[in-house]
């Protein structure tokens, strides 16, 4: 017999310690990049003036494989004249043209094995910094585990199917009556998930509260910070790869819930986003309770064992 007290919940991120393959992505020195027309590097940023189209290039060794996506992150810190915008090409494959300040994320499969190119369009006066390029499968996936000690959980057992609508002849049922499948909305609409747990005075409490509050970096044991990578845009429903969030500041995680017994039972929830501002901590006489309320954007599947990974406690 399975009992709730024997349950475990794990929150996974998408490759916490993948290595950055860019050199001098923060432009701390005027080096490592080949500057084309109208590009300069100074004061911790690369700037393209509002002259003609020009490129900024760094040679890389890339894997050319349809299954190997690279995650490209960068910050546009200033735009004086938008013009044709700025774009990043990885191995000849273009990202999205940007014309406004912000921190952006692209997922790109390169066509060729070398070079990242940043292209500033004609009449575009723009500054860019904090360029990071990471091969998505090169990092270790880390998880945070919560045991069921004064904890509760609520989540679906599967995703809903599309509805069936009966088609009749002008409202009359006859031998030609049949069902027609409704729109795909139920298959892709976010589904609620929630849990709560008691917080102890340990590093795992800090990590789980950080993850649910939307931070993108965790302090690590070496005294630095390490980037948390989101699952959005990495999984499928019915064979269709889900898109990345339009708001690149949002992040999502994989949640796995398993109850131990003679025959273990569990569920995997893909691409769970915890809306910022909707998570809470409640103080009582017995301690602090963290309440997490998420939305499942990905699929829901049965499991009997957790996926492999490394506890974030071994790192933090």
Kindly report, residue by residue over 292-309, the tens digit of the pLDDT. 899 999 999 999 998 887
Structural domains of the chain, with CATH: 4-17+140-160+187-314 (2.30.110), 34-138 (2.60.120.260)
Q: Identify the pLDDT of residue 113.
A: 84
Q: What is the pTM of this model?
A: 0.63
Tokens at residue 281, please? 């901590």
Cα gap 45→60, rounded to integer Å: 20
Which among 271, 290, 270 has a CA at the least distance from the CA of 280?
290
Q: Identify the pLDDT of residue 3.
A: 43
Length, in residues, of the chain: 316
Kindly report, residue by residue over 232-247, the tens digit of the pLDDT. 777 889 988 888 888 8
The β-bridge relationship of strands 236-237 and 240-241 is: antiparallel
Kindly report, residue by residue over 170-208, the tens digit of the pLDDT. 999 999 999 999 999 999 999 999 988 777 666 566 677
**Residue 34: CA atoms inside 13 Å, Cβ hemisphere, count?**
8
Q: Identify the pLDDT of residue 99.
A: 87
Give Cα 136 to chain centroid, integer Å. 11
Which of the four pLDDT bands, split at 50, 70 and 90, describes residue 148? Answer: low
Which of the four pLDDT bands, split at 50, 70 and 90, describes residue 316? Answer: very low
Q: Identify the pLDDT of residue 223.
A: 47
């Amino acid at each position: 017999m399975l009992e709730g007290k024997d349950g475990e919940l794990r929150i996974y991120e998408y490759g916490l310690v993948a290595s950055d393959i860019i050199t001098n992505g923060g432009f701390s020195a005027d080096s490592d990049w080949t500057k084309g027309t109208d590009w300069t590097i100074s004061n911790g940023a690369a700037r393209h003036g509002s002259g003609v189209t020009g490129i900024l290039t760094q040679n890389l060794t890339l894997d050319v494989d349809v299954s190997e996506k690279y995650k490209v992150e960068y910050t546009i810190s200033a735009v004086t004249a938008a013009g044709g915008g700025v774009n990043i090409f990885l191995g000849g494959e273009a990202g999205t043209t940007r014309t406004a300040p912000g921190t952006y994320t692209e997922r790109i499969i390169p066509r060729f094995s070398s070079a990242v190119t940043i292209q500033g369009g004609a009449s575009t006066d723009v500054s860019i910094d904090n360029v990071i390029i990471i091969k998505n499968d090169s990092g270790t996936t880390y998880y945070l585990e919560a045991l069921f000690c004064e904890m509760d959980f609520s989540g679906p057992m599967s995703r809903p199917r599309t509805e069936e609508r009966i088609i009749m002849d002008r409202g009359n049922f006859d031998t030609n009556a049949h069902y027609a499948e409704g729109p795909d909305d139920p298959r892709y609409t976010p589904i609620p998930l929630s849990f709560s747990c008691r917080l102890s005075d340990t590093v795992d409490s800090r990590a789980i509260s950080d993850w649910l509050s939307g931070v993108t970096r965790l302090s690590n044991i070496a005294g630095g910070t390490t980037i948390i990578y989101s699952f959005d845009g990495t999984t499928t429903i019915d064979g269709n790869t889900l898109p990345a969030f339009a708001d690149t500041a949002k992040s999502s995680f994989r949640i796995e819930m398993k109850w131990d017994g003679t025959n273990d039972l569990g569920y995997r929830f893909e691409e769970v986003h915890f809306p910022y501002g909707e998570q809470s901590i409640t103080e009582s006489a017995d301690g602090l309770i963290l309440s997490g309320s998420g939305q499942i954007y990905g699929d829901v599947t049965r499991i009997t064992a957790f996926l492999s990974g490394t506890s974030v406690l071994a790192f933090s």
